[in-house]
Structure 1
Amino acid sequence: MESTFHGVMAFALLASMLLLGSILRNRIALFRSSLAPASIIGGLLGFILLSLGLIPGFTADDFQALTFHFFTLSFMSLCLTGKSKNASLSGGSVVRGGLWLTFIWTISLGLQGVIGYLVIVGYDAVTGSDVSAWLGAIVTHGFTQGPGQALTYGGIWEQQYGIENAAQVGMIYASLGFLVAFLIGVPVAKKFIRSGLNANKASNIGEDFKSGFYKDEPAPTCGTMVSHPANLDSLGYHIGLLGIAYLITYVWLSFIQTQVEGIAFGGINLSVLFSFNMFFVHGLGVCVLMRMVIDRLGLSHRVDDETLKRITGSSVDFMVVGTLMSIQFAVLYELLTPIMLVTVVVTIATLIGCLLLGRLSGALGRERALTAFGCCCGSTGTGLLLLRMMDADFSTSVPKELAFFNLAIVFTNFHILFFFAPLVPSLGGSMYMLVFGGTALVFLAGIPLLMMRRSAAAITPSLRVKESLS
């Protein structure tokens, strides 16, 4: 049985780093004041211990698979979760607000890729180096999309197109994205709150927030029991739902791979789009369909959304720790200068873009700007964590807008996420710029239309008031 313990101990190490991170956040004043999440603290601690060889028998490679699957679980559990019912402070139409978040994210996805590509091209021209420009382009999958997609697409680029270290560099960008999201996002949120610029005035950075733990009372509840514990524990029941989704996705991919093997469309090998590296994309679709069936059959009472949210949140925490512990110090050291150049330029461009476009979105613009920055530097979970600082009990409409955004970006970026991203190195520089840069420009050109809709939405209520008085 001894041989079965290695993978389990890797998971135990992730859990231990999370616990240590939460204790350090609670005990060290610097971490409390910075509001650094336990996952970031624990992940950095794990990275340092691995780099110094202080965790014998384990390397960064041992945590890549766990990171991939926790990322997949976070997305699948999110798609199984029903619609939010809590939103008392409205910034207008949830759809319109969600479209603002969607446009910002889509612009960021294209723009970050183009910036990363051009920075490496410029770096090579100035220094005479021979760093692959695709190692700059993958920054958008690490920043705007997160570690799962960086690992997914980077792995495909390595295996299919020979881009050395693409997956590892993507993971490094994802880790740096999480760091800058909090190093920059938290101070911006603090400034908004202290200036009274957030809509939810009940939000404040209290002692519970700083310490990372709730006091004995009052503490929020953590979901509702669906199944009787004498039959099946409710948490186990919800994990079972995700297990079914995982099995369906696995069977589907195993079947479809045999059907598309050797088939090319427009010179593109279709097997790339149906590889297990793309598991999260197909799993997302399976969970959306499962939730539709559950709702149509009137069985939504058999699914507790709060429990699924806890699974999503826990998966994100484990994913962040795993991402940081998956970094290979040798690769980071070798490519440190170009990686940091890309990170700095992309971070500045993303921050400026999110703040400007968020302000244009009208009411709750600052909440949207901060949420979008978190999403464009880490993941939806990062955006949600930053939003929680300004809207502690999620009483604004932005959380519902974020739920709409998660679905909308699949459609607005379908061509990139499902088709071009896995095939990027085969496109060539010009076509890459056309696809990614063109997508950003198209949606940037659509911003005035959203502003017109905002104006119309603001005028309509005043007309109704006039009509009621006449």
Structure 2
Amino acid sequence: MHLSFSAYYTLIMAVLVLLLGKLLTRHIRFLRDFNIPEPVSGGLVVAAVIFALHQLTGLTLSFESGLQSAFMLVFFSSIGLSANFAKLREGGMGLIIFLCVIVVFIVVQNGVGVGLATLLGLDPLIGLVAGSITLLGGHGTAGAWGAVLEQQYGLSGATALGIACATFGLVIGGLLGGPLAKRLITRHQLARPRTNAEQQSDRTTVSEGSDVANFESPNTAPRLITAEAAIETLALFAGCLAFAEFMTGATKGTAVQLPTFVWALGGGVVIRNVLDYGFGFKVFDRAIDVFGNAGLSIYLAIALLSLKLWELTDLAGPLMIILAAQTLALALFAAFVTFRVMGRNYDAAVLAAGHCGFGMGATPTAVANMQAITNQYGPSHKAFLIVPLVGAFFIDIINAFVLQMMIALLR
């Protein structure tokens, strides 16, 4: 039996998934503590129900894929449109060094995944799925590359596999960062735990760090997202999507052929910085974030509705081996590379906690890790500047191009 949903009904189902996820996150503390996205919370429950129906009745469901692709491109366009190169100067040399550390880590993470997948007799591309595609890239990147690997390289179940790995990474990233940083601080005597009175007096400092993470100035009144602002923002997204469509067609079959979502991201970077530096146009960052987050939520909801979990049953054992090895690799890299390269001081320890957060999770997980450390030991302005800048957009740009090169080598 097969049931197909049109674009309208697909959108309705996606919204229901988001509402379910919101309800679950509100009532289940575990989901809040580990920053599990609402579309993932609701989508995994619905995917499990669809899996049970398939096993019991043989029923399969299909949803409008064009709608999913459109919202995916909106999300990646928002990352590019947020990439203001002035932020690179603001981060200084510390940001450049940290970016270099992350580039090396991407290669290591994918090397661990591909190496173990090969040893276990799996397609090496599965190692990339259980590598930086999902663990560093998160759920959005997992779905985007999963679709590419399924359609262009015939890797069945890549999207479902990616969503599972990304969810695992969110939990582990939240568990790993705090204890690792505390061990580094204690072992090297970098700071002492603060008293309750000292922690209370520094609440405003932590809030200031959060403001940096959100790229909002606490001294300016927020600009409202009006109809005019929404139209202006839609025009920017339309430019990114048009650029992506043109470049995908123009480079097809050439040495610089890239997935469409990479061109959407790149188009956003070009448009943002041309407007900033060429025309002095002030891009409305908060509106871009709202549109991008909405696009990601609907895209993930549709992706999770489309999961075919029955395609993963044979990969459960090997996948857990690879993910366990990735956890160990991240812990060792953060402790012996990130911490040492970034200065072997208190800021470096907090950066190591942040690295664990987005190295197997997402930027909110990284910020939560750092806040847990700074609440206990004191503020780290350097870490709260660098990690959100890297996690918000630079990491996705770098990861996309490194993955494209590694896939080309494997194929």
Of residues 338, 341, 347, the one that matches 2:318 is: 338
Q: Deviations over 1:321-354 (max 9, x none)?
A: 4554443211221211111111111122113322
Query: Which has the higher Rg, Structure 1 or Structure 2?
Result: 1
- What secondary structure does 1:52 align onto? helix
Question: In structure 2, do the counterparts of structure 1 residues 395 and 47 end up closer, same or farther at CA, with 3 Å as the change threshold?
Answer: farther
2:58 and 2:232 map into 1 onto residues whose CA distance is 35
Of residues 139, 144, 158, the one that matches 2:130 is: 139
Given the alignment of the two structures, is residue 11 of structure 1 paired with residue 11 of structure 2, yes or no? Answer: yes
1:9 and 1:367 map into 2 onto residues whose CA distance is 46
- What secondary structure does 2:53 align onto? coil
Q: Which residue of 1 aligns with 2:233?
A: 238
1:139 and 1:110 map into 2 onto residues whose CA distance is 13
Preserved contact between residue 354 and residue 366 of structure 2 (Cα < 8 Å):
yes
Matches within 5 A, 1:249-288: 249-257=244-252, 261=253, 270=255, 273-274=256-257, 278-288=259-269
1:17 and 1:69 map into 2 onto residues whose CA distance is 18
Given the alignment of the two structures, is residue 102 of structure 1 paired with residue 122 of structure 2, yes or no? Answer: no
Q: Which residue of 1 aligns with 2:24?
A: 24
Q: Which residue of 1 aligns with 2:48?
A: 48
Q: Which residue of 2 aligns with 1:202?
A: 203
Q: Which residue of 2 aligns with 1:169?
A: 161
Return the TM-score normalized by structure 2: 0.72
Question: In structure 2, do the counterparts of structure 1 residues 37 and 63 end up closer, same or farther at CA, with 3 Å as the change threshold?
Answer: same
Q: Which residue of 2 aligns with 1:78?
A: 79
Cα drift, residue 30 of structure 1: 5.1
- What secondary structure does 2:6 align onto? helix
Letter in 1 for 2:75: S
Cα drift, residue 292 of structure 1: 1.8
Q: Deviations over 1:120-154 (max 9, x none)?
A: 33334xxxxxx334322432222223345445545
Cα drift, residue 36 of structure 1: 4.4
Cα drift, residue 106 of structure 1: 1.8
- What secondary structure does 2:307 align onto? coil
Letter in 2 for 1:287: G
Cα drift, residue 295 of structure 1: 1.3
Of residues 373, 380, 386, the one that matches 1:401 is: 386
Cα drift, residue 368 of structure 1: 1.9
Q: Deviations over 1:36-94 (max 9, x none)?
A: 4434422332322322339x9996763876665444433321322365999xxxxx982
Structure 1: runs of 5 or more not aligned: 87-91, 125-130, 210-219, 264-269, 427-470
Given the alignment of the two structures, is residue 370 of structure 1 paired with residue 358 of structure 2, yes or no? Answer: no
2:205 and 2:303 map into 1 onto residues whose CA distance is 30
Question: In structure 2, do the counterparts of structure 1 residues 380 and 26 end up closer, same or farther at CA, with 3 Å as the change threshold?
Answer: closer
Q: Which residue of 2 aligns with 1:454?
A: none
Q: Which moved more, 1:31-40 or 1:303-312?
A: 31-40
Return the TM-score normalized by structure 1: 0.64
1:161 and 1:336 map into 2 onto residues whose CA distance is 21
Q: Deviations over 1:230-268 (max 9, x none)?
A: xx34234313321222122212323343xxx4x5xxxxx
Question: In structure 2, do the counterparts of structure 1 residues 118 and 29 end up closer, same or farther at CA, with 3 Å as the change threshold?
Answer: closer
Matches within 5 A, 1:431-450: none
1:18 and 1:347 map into 2 onto residues whose CA distance is 29
Letter in 1 for 2:81: L
Preserved contact between residue 244 and residue 264 of structure 2 (Cα < 8 Å):
yes
Q: Which residue of 1 aligns with 2:215?
A: none
Question: In structure 2, do the counterparts of structure 1 residues 204 and 53 end up closer, same or farther at CA, with 3 Å as the change threshold?
Answer: farther
- What secondary structure does 1:364 align onto? helix
Question: In structure 2, do the counterparts of structure 1 residues 121 and 374 end up closer, same or farther at CA, with 3 Å as the change threshold?
Answer: same
Cα drift, residue 384 of structure 1: 5.1
Preserved contact between residue 115 and residue 124 of structure 2 (Cα < 8 Å):
yes
Q: Which residue of 2 aligns with 1:450?
A: none
Question: In structure 2, do the counterparts of structure 1 residues 252 and 63 end up closer, same or farther at CA, with 3 Å as the change threshold?
Answer: same
- What secondary structure does 1:335 align onto? helix
Identity of aligned residues (%): 19
Letter in 1 for 2:110: G
Q: Deviations over 1:297-321 (max 9, x none)?
A: 44433x2212222333444444554
Preserved contact between residue 68 and residue 148 of structure 1 (Cα < 8 Å):
no
Q: Deviations over 1:17-51 (max 9, x none)?
A: 33332233323455556664434422332322322
- What secondary structure does 1:300 align onto? coil
Q: Which residue of 2 aligns with 1:359?
A: 339
Question: In structure 2, do the counterparts of structure 1 residues 372 and 67 end up closer, same or farther at CA, with 3 Å as the change threshold?
Answer: farther
Structure 2: runs of 5 or more not aligned: 186-191, 211-218
Preserved contact between residue 144 and residue 378 of structure 1 (Cα < 8 Å):
yes
Q: Deviations over 1:93-130 (max 9, x none)?
A: 82333234323422321122222223233334xxxxxx
2:287 and 2:58 map into 1 onto residues whose CA distance is 35
1:297 and 1:70 map into 2 onto residues whose CA distance is 29
Given the alignment of the two structures, is residue 423 of structure 1 paired with residue 408 of structure 2, yes or no? Answer: yes
2:246 and 2:90 map into 1 onto residues whose CA distance is 40
CA-atom RMSD in angstroms: 4.7
Question: In structure 2, do the counterparts of structure 1 residues 388 and 122 end up closer, same or farther at CA, with 3 Å as the change threshold?
Answer: same
Preserved contact between residue 36 and residue 167 of structure 2 (Cα < 8 Å):
no
- What secondary structure does 2:381 align onto? coil
Preserved contact between residue 43 and residue 324 of structure 1 (Cα < 8 Å):
yes
Letter in 2 for 1:172: A
Q: Deviations over 1:368-409 (max 9, x none)?
A: 2233223222445654565566679x9934454246536765
Preserved contact between residue 25 and residue 38 of structure 1 (Cα < 8 Å):
yes
Preserved contact between residue 67 and residue 322 of structure 1 (Cα < 8 Å):
yes
Question: In structure 2, do the counterparts of structure 1 residues 374 and 327 end up closer, same or farther at CA, with 3 Å as the change threshold?
Answer: farther
